[in-house]
Amino acid sequence: MASVFRAGFLTAAAVTVFGAVTGRDRLQWVAKPLMMPLLAADVARSDEMADADRQLLLGALAAATVGDILLIDPDDDRRLIAGASAFAVMQSGYAVLWRRRGARPRAAIAVPRVGAWLGAGALMRAKAPTVALPLTAYGASLGTAAVLASDPALAPGAKNIVGLNIPNADPRSRLGLGALLFTMSDGLIVLRRIFARSSRSRRVTEGVILGTYAAAQYLLTDPRAHSS
């Protein structure tokens, strides 16, 4: 059963997505900065995690909060680059946390993600050169965390198909799906930046970006997936 904090997160996420799709930026300014602090409150109250792991996860969520605020205006390239830097800190925190829990990079999992990273980098260099370098650098931190999140060692009871742990009753098995949703969300940011031209298409795409992002964070920050 979700805690009151995680339920509050789902409410804040729904308001944020609604604000993005309808162009009501004021709703985003109210709701989006609450999302990660609500997850952090759930992590802080949990007694299932070791103190060092809890502090690492709380630090990652603090960086994500900064990124969330910066990306309320995703059409400002300076804010986009600064937000990516904040999320790189968050992804690095996740990667360290999962490595501490025994995850290691595996070639079968890493190779397709490296290919996607190279392809996205080439597309940005061709279509959006002003943001290509910092976003490609961020993509490296995202890919590292995603590779570790899908290591079968994190969820030994889960099936691993095409480099992804298939979610089951074990919360650890859902980390790979969370990382995949995060990758999808960030990939859509690139596509939105390059291809979305009309106001409506940009709003709808932003709603999908925020929805997949919220789902990813909900899965990745579950204290039960990081229990001692």
DSSP one-letter string for 75-132: T-HHHHHHHHHHHHHHHHHHHHHHHHTT----HHHHHHHHHHHHHHHHHHHHH-HHHH
Its pTM stands at: 0.94
pLDDT in tens, 109-160: 999 889 989 999 999 999 999 999 999 999 999 999 999 999 999 999 999 9
- At 2 the pLDDT is 66
Cα 18 to Cα 210: distance, rounded to the nearest angstrom: 10
Of the candidates 59, 138, 137, 48, the one whose C-alpha atom is nearest the C-alpha of residue 93 is 59
For the segment 14-46, what is each residue's pLDDT rounded down to a tens digit?
A: 999 999 999 999 999 999 999 999 999 999 999
Q: 126 exposed, middle or buried (CB, 10 Å; 0-12, 13-18, 19+)?
A: exposed
What digits encode the pLDDT tens for the residues 65-100?
999 999 998 889 999 999 999 999 999 999 999 999
Q: Give the torsion through C-alpha atoms of 14, 178, 156, 105, to 10 deg.
A: -160
Q: In the block, which residue shows the tokens 């690492």? A: 56
pLDDT at 75: 84
Q: Contact, 192 vs 205, CB < 8 A?
A: yes
List C-alpha distances in Å: 175 to 17, 126, 127, 171, 224.
22, 33, 32, 7, 11
Token pair of 116, please?
A: 């996607």
**CB of 108 closer than 8 Å to CB of 124:** no
64 within 8 A of 218, measured Cβ to Cβ: no
Both structure tokens of 86: 């904040």
Q: What is residue 94's predicted lDDT score, i.e. its pLDDT?
A: 97
Q: Which amino acid is at 99?
A: R
